[in-house]
Chain A
Amino acid sequence: MENTATYLGLIPLLPLAGALVTGLLHMLTCRRKPLPELFYGVVGCIGPLLAFFFALVLFFHLKGMPAEERFLSHIPYTWFAVGDLRVDMGFLADPLSSLMLLFVTFIGSLIHIYSIGYMAGDENFGKFFSYLNLFLGSMLILVLGNGPVVMFVGWEGVGLCSYLLISFYSKERENVLAGNKAFIVNRIGDFGFVLGVSLLFWAIGAGGFDYLALQANAGSLTPGVGIAVCLLLFLGACGKSAQIPLYVWLPDAMAGPTPVSALIHAATMVTAGVYMVARFSFLYVQFPVAGSVVAWVGILTALLAAIFGLFQRDIKKILAYSTVSQLGYMFAGVGVAAYSAGIFHVFTHAFFKALLFLGAGAVIYALHHQQDIWKMGGLKEKMPKTYWTMLIGALALAGCPPLSGFFSKDEILFSALAHGHIGIWLVGVVVAALTAYYTFRMIFVVFHGQPRDQHAWEQAKDAPAVMTWPLLILAFGAFFVGFLNLPGLFGGGLRVSHWLAPSLVESHPHVGLGVELLAVFAGVAAFVVGITLAYRKFGKGATEPEYRGFARFAYHKFYVDELYNALFVQPYKAFGGVISRILEPKVTDLPVRLSTWLYRWAGNAFKVLQVGYVRVYALYMVIGLSLMSLILSQSIN
C-alpha cells in the first residue's frame, strides 16, 4: 500500500534550511553591518519556491498512481521508541496532504515574495524571513507528518512561529502581549492534544502509531475512550484554529506584520485544526457525537465571530473575525462528516483570505500603517489594482457565485442539510448573510465614498509590483479555484472530493435535487441580502455610527476578553502572588520554621536549668535517681 518517496523529507527541510541560513546570518550581522535586504529576500524565497516545486512533483507523482494506492511515505529514522510506543520521524504523502502541501507552498511562496516589498526598510528584515521560513517548514512538517506525534512537532512549531511573528514588533508591549496570548492559548489547546494523543496510544497505539496503523486499529476503540480522544484532539484544534472558547487570541494576533496575518492567521496555520480533524476522520466518523460537538462549536463560533465582525473598525480585525468565522464553517463541515467539503473550504479560503489580507496590507502600507477603516475611504481611485483584487476576494468571501467561496461554502451548508443537521444549516445561512454584510461594509467604507483623511488619501498609491503581482495571482485563484470542485448540480465532478477520497473516511448521503437546490438558493439569497444591506448603509459614504445596546455589547466583543481576564488571568496571577507571598513562607514552610523555633526555645529553657549551683546539680541527681528507682520498682512489680 505504501511506496516510498525519499524527497518527502526534503520538502520541509528546504524552508527550514532557509530559516537557518537567514537566521544565522541576520543574528551574526545585524549588530554590525546588516546584509542587503535583497539577499535575505532571495534566499528566503528559495526554500518556499523549491518546496512548491517538489509539492508539484509530488502531486503528479501521486496522480500517476492508481487512486487507492496514492500513499507515499518516507521514514528517515525512528524518532523514539519506548516499550510498545514507537514513533518514527516519518512523512506521509497522500491526496489530503498533497493538496494541503500544494496550496501551503503556493500561497507561502507568494507571501514571501510579497513580503520583500512589504517589509522593506525594516531593521529586522532578515529575521522576518527566517521566521517565515521556519513557519513554512513547521507547517510542512505538520502536513506531512505520518503520525500524530510528528504532526505535533509541526503543530507546536507553527505555534512558536506564530508567537515570534505576532510579537515581531517587540518593542511595543502590546504586540508581545498579543504574542504571549497566542502562545498560551495555543498551549491550552496543545494540552488537550497531548492528552488525546496519549490516550489514543494506550487505546490502539501499540500496533503502530502512525495514521495508517491507527486507522487499521481504530475499529476496536471503545466509545468512552474514543469520544474522549476526539474531544481532546478537538480541544487542540480549538486552540490552533481559534474556536470557542479559545478564539480570543486570533484577533489580537493581528499585531504582527500583515503578511504574517495573511499567511499564518488566515491561510495556513489556523486551518491546521481542520486538517487535523480531517486526518482523524477515521475516528470522528465512528463517533458522531463527537462530530456533532465539533460542528456545533464550529457554527456557533462562526456566528459569534461574524457578529463581532460587524462592528470592528480595524481593517485587520475585521478580517481576523472573518477568519474565525470561516474556520467555524470549516469545523461545521468536518463536524458533520463532510471532510472533503471542510478541506475544500480550507483550500478556497486560503486564496481569498490571503488575498484580502495582502490587499489590506497594501492599503495599510499605502496609508503608512493606518488600520482604522473610519480613517480611510475613497481609495478606489487611488489604488485600483488593490481595489479590484480585494473586491474579488470580498466577493469570494461573501459567497458570490461563481467565485470559489460560493462553492466551498455551499458544499458545507449542503452537507449539513444532507446529514440532517438543520440547525447548523440555518445558523450557517444566517452567518453567510452576516459575512456578506461585514465584508462589503469594509469594502464600501475603505474604497468607496469620500476620503476621511484627505492628507493620507492624497499620498496613497498602489503598492510596488512585488506586492501587487501576488495580489493578482491570488485574485485569479480566488476567482477560479472553486471550479475544481464543481458539484454535480453545476455539471462538475467534485474533483477535489474525489481526489481526497482515499485519505478520508466519509459518506456521501444521497439526497434529492430539491435539497441541493434549496441549499444553493439559500446561499445566494444570504449573499444578496447581506450585500444589499451593506450597500444601503455604507455604499455611498457613511460616518462612523454610534453603537448602542446590543451593538455596543458586540462592539466590545461581548466583553469576553475582560471576562477571561477576570476569570483566568487575574486569579492565576493572584494565586501566584498568594503562593509566593503567603503560602510559601507562612504555610508550607511553617512546620520547618516551627520546629526550628521550638528547638531553640527548648534550648533556652534548658539553659535555665544549668543554674551553676553545685547543690542543685546534686539535687538533679537525686531526683533522677528517685524517678529511676520508681520506674525500676514498677518494672519489678
Chain B
Amino acid sequence: MIQDYLILSIILFSLGILGVISRRNVFTVFMSIELMLNAANLAFIALSRLHESMDGHVLAMMVMAVAAAEAALALAVVILLHKHKGKLDTNVFSLLRG
C-alpha cells in the first residue's frame, strides 16, 4: 500500500519539476513548486502512518508553514517584477547573464 502513496507522491513531485523547467510564468512556476512541496507532504503523512509516529505530521505542518512563507515572498516578488517590467515571463528577467 505504502508504495502507492509514494508513487503518487513521486508522480506529483515530477510534475512539479516539469512545471518548473517548462513554464515561463512566474505564478505557474511557484505553483509547481507548491505541488512539489505537497508531494513531499503526501509522502510525509503516508510514511507517518507507516511508522505510526507523529514526526511525519509535524514535518508536514512545517512544510506547509514554510510553503506559506515562501508564497508570501513569491507574491512580493511578483509585484516587484510587474512593477519593473510589467510582465511575469521569467525569460524577460535575464539582465544578469554571461
Q: Which residues of A contact B (CB under 8 A)?
A: 607, 610-615, 618-619, 622
Q: Is the CB of B20 within 8 A of A618?
A: yes
Q: Which residue of A lies closest to B94 (CB)?
A: A612
Q: 4 new A-B pairs (CB below 8 Å) besides A614-B93, A615-B90?
A: A612-B95, A614-B90, A618-B20, A619-B21
Contact A615/B98 with A622-B17, A622-B21 known, Cβ cut-off 8 Å:
no
Q: Is the CB of B98 within 8 A of A607?
A: yes
**Distance, CA A615 to CA B19, complexed state (A):** 10
Q: Which residue of A lies closest to B32 (CB)?
A: A618
A605 CB to nearest B CB, Å: 12
Q: Is the CB of B21 within 8 A of A612?
A: no
Interface residues of B in 46-98 (CB under 8 A from A): 90-91, 93-98
Q: Which residue of A lies closest to B18 (CB)?
A: A622
Q: Is the CB of A613 within 8 A of B21?
A: no
Q: Is the CB of A612 within 8 A of B90?
A: no
**Distance, CA A607 to CA B93, complexed state (A):** 18
Most buried by A among B22, B93, B95, B97: B97
**Distance, CA A622 to CA B95, complexed state (A):** 23
Q: Is the CB of A612 within 8 A of B97?
A: yes
Name the one of A610, A619, A622 contacting B97, with C-beta atoms under 8 angstroms: A610
**Distance, CA A622 to CA B15, complexed state (A):** 13
Most buried by A among B20, B24, B96: B20
**Distance, CA A80 to CA B54, complexed state (A):** 90
Contact A611/B90 with A618-B21, A619-B21, A622-B21 known, Cβ cut-off 8 Å:
no
**Distance, CA A612 to CA B98, complexed state (A):** 7
Which 9 pairs, one residue from A and one from B, show the smallest C-beta to C-beta distance?
A612-B97, A612-B94, A619-B21, A618-B21, A618-B20, A614-B90, A607-B98, A613-B94, A613-B91
5 contacts between A and B (CB under 8 A): A607-B98, A611-B97, A612-B98, A615-B23, A618-B20
Chain B residues with CB under 8 Å of A618's CB are 20-21
B6 CB to nearest A CB, Å: 16
Q: Which residue of B lies closest to A617 (CB)?
A: B21
**Distance, CA A619 to CA B22, complexed state (A):** 9
Chain A residues with CB under 8 Å of B95's CB are 612
A468 CB to nearest B CB, Å: 93
Q: Is the CB of B97 within 8 A of A615?
A: no
Most buried by A among B17, B20, B21, B94: B21
Chain B residues with CB under 8 Å of A615's CB are 20-24, 29, 90-91
Name the one of B17, B20, B24, B94 contacting A611, with C-beta atoms under 8 angstroms: B94
Complex interface bits, B7-35 against A, C-beta within 8 A gives 1, otherwise 0: 00000000001001111100001000000
**Distance, CA A614 to CA B23, complexed state (A):** 11
Q: Which residue of B lies closest to A625 (CB)?
A: B17
A419 CB to nearest B CB, Å: 90
A599 CB to nearest B CB, Å: 18
B31 CB to nearest A CB, Å: 14
**Distance, CA A613 to CA B20, complexed state (A):** 12
Q: Which residue of A lies closest to B22 (CB)?
A: A615
B87 CB to nearest A CB, Å: 14
Chain A residues with CB under 8 Å of B96's CB are 612
Chain B residues with CB under 8 Å of A611's CB are 94, 97
Most buried by B among A611, A615, A622: A615
**Distance, CA A615 to CA B20, complexed state (A):** 7
Chain B residues with CB under 8 Å of A612's CB are 94-98
Chain B residues with CB under 8 Å of A622's CB are 17, 21
A600 CB to nearest B CB, Å: 15
A55 CB to nearest B CB, Å: 87
B8 CB to nearest A CB, Å: 20
Chain A residues with CB under 8 Å of B22's CB are 615
**Distance, CA A607 to CA B98, complexed state (A):** 5
Q: Is the CB of B93 within 8 A of A610?
A: no
Chain A residues with CB under 8 Å of B20's CB are 615, 618
Most buried by B among A607, A610, A612, A619: A612
Chain A residues with CB under 8 Å of B17's CB are 622
Chain A residues with CB under 8 Å of B24's CB are 615
Q: Is the CB of A610 within 8 A of B21?
A: no
Q: Which residue of A lies closest to B90 (CB)?
A: A614
Q: Is the CB of B98 within 8 A of A613?
A: no
Most buried by B among A607, A618, A622: A618
Contact A610/B90 with A618-B21, A622-B17, A622-B21 known, Cβ cut-off 8 Å:
no
**Distance, CA A615 to CA B98, complexed state (A):** 15
Chain A residues with CB under 8 Å of B21's CB are 615, 618-619, 622
**Distance, CA A607 to CA B96, complexed state (A):** 12
**Distance, CA A460 to CA B94, complexed state (A):** 100
A67 CB to nearest B CB, Å: 97
A632 CB to nearest B CB, Å: 16
**Distance, CA A612 to CA B91, complexed state (A):** 8
Chain B residues with CB under 8 Å of A607's CB are 98
**Distance, CA A613 to CA B93, complexed state (A):** 7
Q: Which residue of B lies closest to A620 (CB)?
A: B21
**Distance, CA A610 to CA B97, complexed state (A):** 6
A622 CB to nearest B CB, Å: 6
Chain B residues with CB under 8 Å of A610's CB are 97-98
**Distance, CA A615 to CA B28, complexed state (A):** 12
Chain B residues with CB under 8 Å of A619's CB are 21
Q: Which residue of B lies closest to A604 (CB)?
A: B98
**Distance, CA A125 to CA B80, complexed state (A):** 95
B94 CB to nearest A CB, Å: 3
B41 CB to nearest A CB, Å: 21
Most buried by B among A610, A611, A614: A614
Chain B residues with CB under 8 Å of A613's CB are 90-91, 94
**Distance, CA A611 to CA B29, complexed state (A):** 19
